[in-house]
């Protein structure tokens, strides 16, 4: 995990995973799936909706449906500032 990811999580971002079901351009009776992950803010999900807009504008396979889940990886009670550290033998 990089510093930027940790900073995003401390600002309230969580990991959003979406599964896109889309039709093949040449075979419209075939459904295919694509998995997408990014850090995003609930409940508006700006990154997810930006990706959906990109898909609809630039890609040939029309979307059938989208399933997604969102999970905050750092909760307020799990993060605490540590001033010192000591080791017991």
pLDDT of residue 76: 59
Whether the predicted pLDDT of 10 surpasses 90? no
Q: Give the domain extent around 16.
A: 3-77
* Residue 40 counted as domain residue: yes
Whether the predicted pLDDT of 46 surpasses 80? yes
pLDDT of residue 48: 96
pTM (predicted TM-score): 0.78
* Residue 26 counted as domain residue: yes
* Residue 46 counted as domain residue: yes
**E-assigned strand segments in the chain:** 14-23, 31-40, 63-71
| Cα 40 to Cα 48: distance, rounded to the nearest angstrom | 7
pLDDT of residue 55: 96
* Residue 88 counted as domain residue: no
* Residue 89 counted as domain residue: no
Say how many domains are in the chain. Answer: 1
* Residue 82 counted as domain residue: no
Confidence of residue 87 (pLDDT cuts 50, 70, 90): low
Mean pLDDT over 28-44 rounds to: 94
């Amino acid at each position: 995990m990089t510093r930027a990811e940790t900073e995003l999580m401390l600002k309230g971002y969580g990991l959003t995973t979406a599964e896109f079901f889309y039709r093949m351009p040449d075979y419209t009776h075939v459904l295919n799936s694509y998995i997408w992950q990014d850090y995003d803010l609930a409940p508006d999900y700006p990154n997810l909706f930006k990706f959906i807009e990109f898909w609809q504008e630039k890609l040939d396979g029309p979307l059938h449906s989208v399933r997604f889940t969102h999970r905050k990886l750092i909760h307020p009670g799990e993060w605490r500032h540590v001033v010192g550290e000591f080791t017991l033998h």
